[in-house]
Amino acid sequence: MKARVHVMLKNGVLDPQGEAVRHALGAMGFDKVNGVRQGKVIDLSLAEGSSEADVTDMCEKLLANTVIESYSIEIL
Amino acid sequence: MKAAVVVFPGSNCDRDLAVAFEAAGFDVSMVWHKDSELPSGVDIVGVPGGFSYGDYLRCGAIAAQSPICKAVVNHADRGGYAIGICNGFQVLTETGVLPGALLRNSGLKYICRSVDLKVATTDSVFTSEYSVGDVMTVPIAHHDGNYFADAETVAKLQGEDRVAFTYCDNPNGSIGDIAGILSDNRRVLGMMPHPERAVDEAHGGTDGVAVFRALTGIVATA
């Protein structure tokens, strides 16, 4: 089983890296970019018998810091 | 009086913190991240600055799951004293001992220079030798020192007088200019600036000495 976890800063949490990318795109002439948010993608290769609940547990305990980040899980 | 300083792979302020504790009169033991217990009779635990586990995933996130951190959390839960500086502050927020989180600096740059801090409360063992409004000059050295907590948490910290230090001129975007905070029982301090790097004339200043000196007195009488 494979799972993909997307981790993003929550709405309302300033993302200075995303802002820097937005500025760079603007300076390059991509003038239609209203906002950029940068996150992480974590691919997990899991033993048979693993469940989405296991991945949720991993996200809550380590992969995301839920004070500042939200996550979503894709089972591949 | 006994202090323990935690050492992770990538810690780089562990010896500085040990020297600051020793100068204040503590017997100091260094404890390795794989240890699962603190030495018996430890009065205070120091979680030092550095780049534990290479800052992988998030600063402090992997250190927070190490065996020694379980012991540090238990120590804090029992009402033990602890101080987390820089990466140590990040570790303590990741464990949940202290609220909030440290984000990338708003200017995106790693900043290494001395800054002025204002003492925001004297109601803790760490700040009892200062006066509210005292300005101290202490180095910072971080890339992810931008303190963040939701509005409710910040209001609670301010309402409960748990902001220990604020920046006079905010270098990193921290909400409310917050440079250091206290736990709800006021026995755990987390701060991004480095008081242990301002305890000797050779450091260029000794404004950090009082953090450690005050600690000795109060721990001794506790």
Question: Do strands B178-182 and B188-191 pair parallel, antiparallel, or not at all (unpaired)?
Answer: antiparallel
How many C-beta neighbours within 10 Å does residue B131 have? 8
Where in the sequence is the domain holding A68, given as residue range(s)?
2-75
In chain A, residues with a C-beta closer than 8 Å to the C-beta of B65 are 61-62
| Rounded alpha-carbon distances, angstroms, from residue B93 to A5, B1, B9, B16, B153 | 22, 26, 19, 22, 13
Q: Which of A16, A63, A67 sits opposite B106 (nearest CB)?
A: A16
For chains A and B, what is the number of CB pairs under 8 angstroms? 39
CATH number, domain of B83, equals: 3.40.50.880
Q: In angstroms, what CA-CA distances link B85 with B140, B195, B198? A: 10, 8, 13
Name the residue range of residue B111's domain: 2-221
d(CA A24, CA B207): 41
Q: How confident is the model at residue B221 (pLDDT cuts 50, 70, 90)?
A: very low
Q: How confident is the model at residue B216 (pLDDT cuts 50, 70, 90)?
A: confident
Among A5, A13, A14, A61, which would you mutate to test the B interface (most chain B Cβ atoms within 10 Å of its Cβ)? A14
Task: Give pLDDT, residue B219.
Answer: 58
Q: What is the domain count for chain B?
A: 1
In tens, the pLDDT along B121-175 reads 999 999 999 999 999 999 999 999 999 999 999 999 999 999 999 999 999 999 9
Q: Does residue A74 carry a pLDDT above 80?
A: yes
Which residues of B are known catalytic residues? 86, 194, 196
Give me Rg for the CA atoms of chain B: 15
Mutation site for B-interface testing, chosen from A57, A68, A69, A71 by largest number of B Cβ within 10 Å: A68
Query: What is chain B's mean pLDDT, rounded?
Result: 95
Residue B218 has pLDDT above 70, yes or no: no
C-alpha B102/C-alpha B98 separation (Å) is 11
What are the backbone dihedrals phi and psi of residue B16, each rounded to the nearest 5 degrees, phi first? -60, -45
In the prediction, which pLDDT does B222 show? 43
Residue B215: the pLDDT is 81
Rounded to 10 deg, the angle between the B67-77 and B87-95 helix axes is 70
C-beta neighbour count of B168 within 10 angstroms: 15
Q: Scanning every residue of chain B, which has its alpha carbon at the shortest distance from the alpha carbon of A63?
A: B57
Q: What is the ipTM of this complex?
A: 0.87
Question: Does the CA dihedral B171-B138-B5-B84 come out positive or negative?
Answer: negative
Q: State pLDDT tens for residues B37-50.
A: 999 999 999 999 99
The token pair at B124 is: 């803790």
Q: Which residues in chain B are closer than 8 Å to A61, comparing Cβ atoms? A: 65
Chain A touched by B156 (CB under 8 Å): no
Give the pTM.
0.94
Span B81-92, pLDDT tens digits: 999 999 999 999
Task: Please indicate whether, in this complex, the C-beta atoms of B65 and A61 are within 8 angstroms of each other.
Answer: yes
Nearest alpha-carbon partner for B175 in B196, B142, B151: B151
- Count of CB atoms situated within 10 Å of the CB of B132: 12
Q: Which of B94, B99, B148 sits opposite A13 (nearest CB)?
A: B148
Split into its structural domains, chain A has a count of 1
CB contact under 8 A, B100 and A67: yes
Q: What is the CATH number of the domain that holds A60?
A: 3.30.1280.10
Q: Contact at 8 Å (CB) between B44 and B82?
A: yes
B90: enclosing H helix or E strand: helix B87-95
